[in-house]
A = this chain, B = another copy of it.
């Protein structure tokens, strides 16, 4: 107890009011939050550069100054004092320069990995997943779970290879990425028919929202290789615009909250989670704040599940 009531609306907005560690060489934590406020990869609305700030701010809503978060449905207390989380601040973004901005993001993720911390990156648009995955060069192989409305599997269009329509293609090309499960995919996007065919040929398992609903969360989780190291990339537009309107390219027909939460809880229990990014929160398109709150609520629960599972195992 800090001697403070520490109501959610008070205090500096680091993620979950956790300590800010400016010196990335001295990281010492179970999980490290990194902001990646880059939005030059977007094809409709920009604004995801304010994603990290808004998710941090929203995360304070769930910080009541208790020691851990009690969940009556699970009868468990998550993120108690035994779990250490730090906020690394943001990667340095260089306007007009995609290559160097991406390099700076990669540098941050590498710093977290070097420190043995779980990297948790808050975008920024989905192109920031590219340097996140590149930072794992040299690490053991892993599978990727993408939760998203869009396949993002464009190889190259008009020379663009690092936009927010390209990341899953870039990931699939990596030798240390063993495969992809792409969940929530629906409706038209920048990926044309060829992209779907390429994805399937490169080992992707593509599942729409309706297909995911039909099979149920347990069957869905089983589509992901049990026990394998798993990187999870969450594009907030995987969700229904009803709860996530604050995003660059909304698509109706998306997931509701528990559909994704339960999938995350399942993989936290069946896989080793090696990295997370949550992208495409463009807060200024949602004056209610629901989108940022969703992102924060999801990340905090996912982190809770991961470290609870580690403790249980």
Interface of A toward B, CB cutoff 8 Å: 4-14, 20, 35, 37, 39-47, 49-50, 53, 56-57, 61-62, 64, 66, 69-73, 77-78, 87, 89-98, 100, 127, 151, 157-160, 162-164, 185-193, 196, 206, 208, 210-211, 240-243, 245-246, 249-253, 256-258, 261, 284-290, 293-294, 297-298, 300-301
Contact = CB atoms under 8 A, between A and B. Distances in A.
A40 B96 contact: yes
Contacts of A251: 297
B96 A13 contact: no
Nearest to A70: B193
A95 B42 CA distance: 7
A65 B191 CA distance: 11
Given A5-B93, A11-B90, A252-B290, 9 more contacts: A5-B92, A41-B95, A46-B47, A61-B250, A73-B208, A94-B158, A95-B163, A250-B288, A253-B258
A96 B163 contact: yes
B35 A188 contact: no
Contacts of A44: 7-9, 61
B127 A96 contact: yes
Contacts of A250: 61, 288-290, 293
A105 to B, nearest CB: 11
7 contacts: A7-B93, A9-B49, A10-B89, A72-B151, A188-B300, A246-B288, A250-B288
B245 A289 contact: yes
A264 to B, nearest CB: 13
Contacts of A206: 72
B242 A290 contact: yes
Given A95-B43, A253-B258, A297-B252, A90 B10 contact: yes
Contacts of A78: 188
